[in-house]
């Protein structure tokens, strides 16, 4: 899945924009507002507009952009975003499984390296790891053809009642939260019991930790869970 390097701007910036749009658009691939993109990338709104105009005006546009109506990836932009995402998640997995990096450190390292590995190195890494389907955070690694399985999980923040769940994935955006959750046994694949679900916080237990974790509801969106009878391919 070779990457098209056609836009005459910094390749790393292009990759970051396309990956952010893909992430924010969700499974339904809806339009993403410039405001949401500015918050995600921590970039000034004027810079967002300038970059989106460049991405939309390429001979083979990476995005479909209309001012005040948001942006969505073109087929070319989606293909490239998935390629960068594949690089990122393969690197995270390699760092974690082969080089023994702590789980909370692999994201930042992968952010630096994802733009620069060759297709040959990508395939070597994938083969070394046995062609994994998921990264250490539980996120799907896109296949070479860009395919990804359907999402069957939900954010823990959406849970309103006590119950038992399986942790499917954990956001890689907050290293301190990742470390805290791991210390309580809350990692991908763990069985999680919600013993209290109030408007302000959750009380969570796992078999791997002797103490319960009290987690504010506004942080619970970092954890995605599925029912105990839900299956993941």
Q: Is residue 232 part of a domain?
A: no
Q: Evaluate if residue 38 carries a pLDDT over 50.
A: yes
pLDDT digits (tens, 9 = 90+) for 76-123: 999 999 999 999 999 999 999 999 999 999 999 999 999 999 999 999
For the record, the structure tokens of 213 come out as: 């974790």
| CATH number, domain containing residue 30 | 1.10.10.10
For the record, the structure tokens of 187 come out as: 């990692």
| CATH number, domain containing residue 178 | 2.30.30.90
pLDDT digits (tens, 9 = 90+) for 43-88: 999 999 999 999 999 888 999 998 889 999 999 999 999 999 999 9
Pairing of strands 71-73, 63-65: antiparallel
Average pLDDT, the chain: 91
Q: What is the largest CA-CA distance in the chain?
A: 58
Boundaries of domain holding 47: 1-148
The pTM of this model reads 0.87
pLDDT of residue 10: 64
What one-character-per-residue DSSP string does 105-144 give?
Answer: THHHHHHHHTTT--HHHHHHHHHHTTS-SB-TTSPBPPPT
| 21 shares a domain with 36 | yes
The Cα 225–Cα 159 span in angstroms is 9
* Domain total of the chain: 2
Better pLDDT: 88 or 229: 88
Q: How many CB atoms lie within 10 A of CB 19?
A: 22
Banded pLDDT at 3 (limits 50, 70, 90): very low
């Amino acid at each position: 899945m070779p990457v098209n390097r056609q836009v005459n701007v910094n390749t790393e910036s292009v990759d970051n924009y396309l990956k952010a749009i893909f992430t924010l658009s969700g499974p339904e691939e809806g339009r993403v507002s410039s405001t949401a993109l500015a918050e995600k990338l921590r970039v000034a709104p004027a810079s967002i507009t300038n970059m989106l105009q460049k991405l939309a005006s390429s001979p083979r546009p990476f995005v479909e952009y209309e001012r005040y109506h948001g942006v969505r990836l073109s087929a070319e932009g989606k293909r490239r975003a998935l390629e960068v995402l594949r690089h990122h998640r393969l690197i995270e997995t390699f760092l974690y499984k082969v080089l023994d990096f702590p789980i909370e450190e692999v994201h930042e390292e992968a952010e630096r390296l994802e733009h620069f590995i060759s297709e040959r190195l990508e395939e070597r890494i994938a083969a070394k790891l046995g062609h994994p389907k998921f990264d250490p955070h539980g996120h799907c690694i896109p296949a070479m053809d860009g395919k990804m399985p359907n999402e069957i999980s939900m954010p823990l923040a959406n849970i309103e009642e006590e119950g038992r769940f399986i942790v499917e994935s954990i956001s890689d955006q907050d290293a301190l939260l990742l470390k805290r959750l791991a210390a309580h046994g809350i990692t991908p694949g763990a069985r999680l019991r919600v013993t209290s679900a109030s408007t302000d916080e959750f009380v969570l237990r796992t078999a791997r930790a002797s103490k319960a974790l009290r987690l504010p509801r506004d942080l619970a969106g970092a954890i995605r869970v599925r029912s105990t009878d839900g299956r993941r391919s």
